[in-house]
Amino acid sequence: METIKIVEAKVLSDQFYTLKKVIFHKTQKSGQQVTQVREVYDRGNGAAILLYNRTAGSVILTRQFRMPTFLNGNLTGMLIECCAGLLDQDKPEEAIRRETEEETGYKIRAVEKVLEAYMSPGSVTEILYLFVAEYTKEMKVSEGGGLEEENEDIEVLEMPYTQALEMVRTGEIKDGKTILLLQYAELNRLMAC
């Protein structure tokens, strides 16, 4: 039986979120004990949602600058993705409703939880709760775009669902949570088209 014993957890940075260096002993299946060192980034848990309009055959996505993608070869740093955000002590359903209104300008009520997943478990503690929800034009209450006090500069994109799927195929959409939610919509035939 594998056992884990944390020897030391040292905070390396806590300016925005928390980056720790963790030294631990791990007893492997063979019974051998090994010492390992990992850097672990804790940014809290998050939620993401795919807004879809079955009748219009459309989805709402966002485009915004993401520094890590810029540092890893994305020349503009811009990423197309579904609406998402941190829970900030809220329940996932409450957080995604809040984030949807802030980022997209749509006030939704009914959300359907699809799944929860670790998106980068080798280094990030975050669990991401994934949702889908239907939207209509009547639910639009603002322009969206994010919160000014958080320096968010989010472009709201409404596009045909088929175009979004094609953008996954061509590599224009590279965001994991967005790909998962679009594929969920396809597998579960959420769209009429």
User: What tokens were used for 137?
Assistant: 């034009």
Query: Residue 147's pLDDT is what?
Result: 84
Question: Which residues, including other chains, have CB under 8 Å from residue 181's CB and lie 6 or more apart?
Answer: 48, 49, 50, 82, 114, 130, 132
The model's pLDDT over 136-161, given as tens digits with 9 standing for 90+, comes to: 999 999 999 888 887 789 999 999 99
Q: Where are the beta strands (DSSP E) in 46-104?
A: 46-53, 58-65, 78-81, 83-86
Q: What is the mean pLDDT of residues 20-27?
A: 96
Note if the pTM is more than 0.85: yes
User: What tokens were used for 89?
Assistant: 């002590």
The yes-or-no verdict on residue 23 having pLDDT over 80 is yes
144, 127 contact by CB (below 8 A) = no
Picking from 57-61, 70-74, 148-152, which range would have the lowest pLDDT averaged per residue?
A: 148-152
Q: Is the dihedral of CA 86, 88, 89, 93 positive or negative?
A: negative
Query: Residue 1's pLDDT is what?
Result: 54
The model's pLDDT over 74-125, given as tens digits with 9 standing for 90+, comes to: 999 999 999 999 999 999 999 999 999 999 999 998 999 999 999 999 999 9
The yes-or-no verdict on residue 191 having pLDDT over 70 is yes
Q: What is the mean pLDDT of residues 161-175?
A: 97
